[in-house]
Amino acid sequence: MNNFEGLHPIMTASYNLDWLTKYKVKDVETLRTNLNADQGPADSSTFVNDVMRKIMDGQQLCWGISDKAGNLIGIVAIYDLSHPAVDVHYQVASAHQASFNAAEVKTSIDSLLAGINHQIDQWVPHL
């Protein structure tokens, strides 16, 4: 098991990125519904549990993106850590897409990945 505990929270000037377990299930459900990915709280709970299991197994990384007011507005994920060059996927709720500063988040993720001997291969705007 890899120790990714030091990889959260990630704080930028405008956003906080943290494990999905740090957010209320209803907030994850609302976000995933907005992203057309979820049908209800049971699905959101299963999603969060599956993501955290994969993080603990060293298979992926995934953070919720919240604004400074604490509103969960998106998700950023790396699904395959088996190669040093990784694809980073992100998706932001439609109400926040116009104001979302993807470059700010990308810079922080890139710095974090350098610390674990990885680099961004592609920055993909969908999950």
Domain boundaries, the chain: 5-124
pLDDT tens, residue order, the chain (127 aa)? 456 666 889 999 999 999 999 999 999 999 999 998 756 667 889 999 999 999 999 899 999 999 999 999 999 999 998 999 999 999 999 999 999 999 999 999 999 899 889 999 999 988 7
Sort strands 10-11 and 119-124 into parallel, antiparallel or unpaired. unpaired
Q: What are phi and psi of 37, to 5 degrees?
A: -120, 0
- C-alpha separations of 6 from 49, 57, 80, 91, 111 in Å: 19, 15, 19, 23, 13
Widest CA span of the chain, in angstroms?
Answer: 38
Count of residues making up the chain:
127
Structure tokens at 115: 């610390």
By CB neighbour count within 10 A (0-12 exposed, 13-18 middle, 19+ buried), where does 48 fall?
buried
pTM, whole model, 2 decimals? 0.91
CATH superfamily for domain 5-124: Gcn5-related N-acetyltransferase (GNAT) (3.40.630.30)
Distance CA 106, CA 112 (A): 10
Helix axes 41-56, 25-34, angle to 10 degrees: 100
Q: Which SS3 state, helix, strand or coil, does residue 11 take?
A: strand
